[in-house]
């Protein structure tokens, strides 16, 4: 009889911890500080060859974005009530930052967007979603700007969980965590308002978006490039379905450029390109101009 009572009590505690918080399905496992572990537990780090230059990924650019309809409501997590802020630029705190990686790559964040471990994003218990924050490592003064699009952390009294790339730039990958200062940033008054959109995936998610693509499949071709016909690579995906969905979103974002969009297959990935450009210099200039619109700089597809 006493065992049945104990089971009922445990079940009640678990249910009360779930609450109504729009949070990640699971907390990141406690990060190992063993040098041999590389700063993360097995399954939560990058693959052996990511093909991504983490240092070249730009910081998030603060923009005026409407607050998420649901992710900024008061919620309960692990028995504690949180009331998210609704104004940016008037918040600063010091605490411990950790990071989450491949274990959550491709999962839905509290904003409904897919988590991309290679994007400059973060999870915070109370900062507005979406909003932007400067995170500074107090031990080495390295600083990054991230876009807050997720809720958490809720364990171990951490202040913020940053993406894998942000953690790399802050220098906390090896130790798994570090003492930081978090400062909310208000977008410039001159920044144009935007509508919510998914952050660009610099790497394909481990799970493909479930929404089916109604349009007919796009033919895959080999991309022919030369010194007078250069394309920019916007993204690479494991499935044609994900690539087609991404390409349609890019058509809307970059419609004013008047360029063609193409897909090709290389090294087992479906790649989305825009072009052609008359020279590599023209392509690089166009890629730089896209940085503020897309939040990242496309790569020049060299011949």
CATH number of 230-301: 3.30.70.1070
What percent of the chain has pLDDT above 70? 69
pLDDT > 90 in the chain, percent: 30
Residue 20 pLDDT > 80, yes or no?
no
Question: Residue ranges of the domains in the chain?
Answer: 17-185, 230-301
What are the tens digits of pLDDT across the range 178-216? 999 999 999 874 444 444 433 434 343 343 333 333 333
Provide the 3-class DSSP secondary structure of residue 142: coil
Residue 95 above 50 pLDDT? yes
Per-residue pLDDT at 243: 79
Res 48: pLDDT: 54
CATH of 17-185, one of 2.40.40.10, 3.30.465.10, 3.40.50.300, 2.50.20.10: 2.40.40.10
Helices and strands (DSSP H and E) totals, the chain? 4, 12
What would the pLDDT profile of 205-262 be if each residue is shown by its tens digit?
A: 343 333 333 333 445 555 655 545 788 888 887 777 777 878 888 887 888 888 888 8
CA angle 117, 120, 123 (to 5 degrees): 75
The edge-to-edge listing of strands for the beta sheet with 230-237 is 260-266, 269-277, 230-237, 299-301
pLDDT on residue 281: 84
Residue-level pLDDT at 49: 56
Tell me phi and psi for residue 143, to 5 degrees. -135, 145
């Amino acid at each position: 009889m006493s065992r049945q009572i104990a089971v009922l009590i445990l079940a009640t505690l678990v249910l009360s911890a779930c609450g109504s918080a729009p949070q990640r399905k699971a907390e990141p496992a406690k990060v190992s500080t063993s040098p041999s572990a590389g700063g993360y537990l097995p399954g939560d780090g990058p693959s052996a060859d990511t093909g991504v230059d983490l240092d070249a990924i730009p910081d998030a650019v603060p923009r005026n974005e409407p607050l998420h309809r649901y992710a900024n409501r008061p919620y309960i997590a692990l028995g504690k009530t949180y009331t998210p802020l609704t104004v940016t630029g008037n918040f600063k705190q010091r605490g411990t930052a950790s990071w989450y990686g491949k274990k959550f790559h491709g999962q839905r964040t509290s904003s409904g967007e897919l988590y991309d471990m290679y994007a400059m994003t973060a999870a915070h218990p109370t900062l507005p979603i979406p909003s932007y924050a400067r995170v500074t490592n107090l031990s080495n003064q390295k600083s990054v700007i991230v876009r807050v699009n997720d809720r958490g952390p809720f364990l171990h009294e951490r202040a913020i969980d940053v993406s894998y790339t942000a953690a790399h730039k802050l220098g906390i990958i090896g130790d798994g965590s570090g003492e930081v200062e978090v400062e909310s940033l208000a977008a410039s008054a001159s920044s144009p308002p935007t509508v919510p959109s998914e952050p660009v995936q610099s790497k394909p998610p481990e799970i493909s978006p479930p929404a089916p693509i109604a349009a007919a499949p796009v033919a895959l071709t080999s991309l022919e490039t030369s010194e007078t016909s250069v394309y920019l690579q916007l993204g690479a995906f494991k499935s044609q379905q994900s690539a087609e969905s991404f390409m349609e979103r890019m058509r809307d974002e970059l419609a004013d450029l008047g360029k063609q969009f193409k897909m090709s297959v290389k090294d087992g990935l479906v790649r989305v390109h825009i072009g052609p450009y008359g020279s590599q210099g023209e392509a690089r200039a166009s890629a730089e101009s896209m940085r503020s619109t897309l939040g990242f700089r496309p790569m020049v597809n060299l011949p």
